Amino acid sequence: MNQNRLVLIIAILSLAVISLVVEVAILIGRTEPSQAISNQPPKEAFPNYPEYRDETLISEAKDALGSLRTALEVYAADTGYYCPGGTSINSINYLAPNYVDSIDKLTSSWAKDPAPTYNISGSSYTITVRAKDQNLTQLILTPMGIRPQ
């Protein structure tokens, strides 16, 4: 009786191993139909890499503007007004180090040419920057949010 059980267990394990080997062989042998039928070279891994890179650069610039917006809003909550007005980066230098870790780190995702423009008054602000993507996408920060131009 025990011998019959042993034979049955060995048979089941053998079938499991055989089916696993067959599945692996099928997975290894699979190719895309376009590659098997045509003589075209395989597709690149990232055919739209420049577009993905640009999206990432724009996203980084937006994130930096979002951090700046938060710093401006926190400063306004503490003082009752946005940081001292001005049209240069010196107007937001007041935010460092208490509200922004590093202005250079914040602005590193923005294009230097054309330079960002700052228009900060006690009750409002408009900051215009360009992302470092191929098209130098313009982004505008206002109290209402960030919008591309």
Is 26 inside a domain boundary? yes
Domain extent, residue 87, equals 51-148
pLDDT of residue 96: 76
Residues 66 and 138 in one domain: yes
Residues 18 and 65 in one domain: no
Ramachandran bin of 32, using left for φ above 0, alpha for ψ from -120 to 50, beta for the remaining angles: beta
* Tens of pLDDT, residues 37-73: 555 555 555 566 778 888 999 999 999 999 889 888 8
Residues 63 and 129 in one domain: yes
Domain count, the chain: 2
DSSP 102: -
Which of 129, 113, 119 is CA-nearest to residue 91?
Answer: 119
pLDDT of residue 110: 92
Instruction: Tell me if 140 sits within 8 A of 126, measured CB to CB.
Output: yes
pLDDT of residue 34: 47
Which pTM was predicted? 0.63
* Tens of pLDDT, residues 90-125: 777 778 778 888 888 888 999 998 889 888 888 888
Find how far residue 108's CA is from the centre of its chain.
15
Tokens in use for 5?
């059980």
CA gap 74, 143 in Å, rounded:
12
* Tens of pLDDT, residues 75-91: 888 888 887 767 777 77
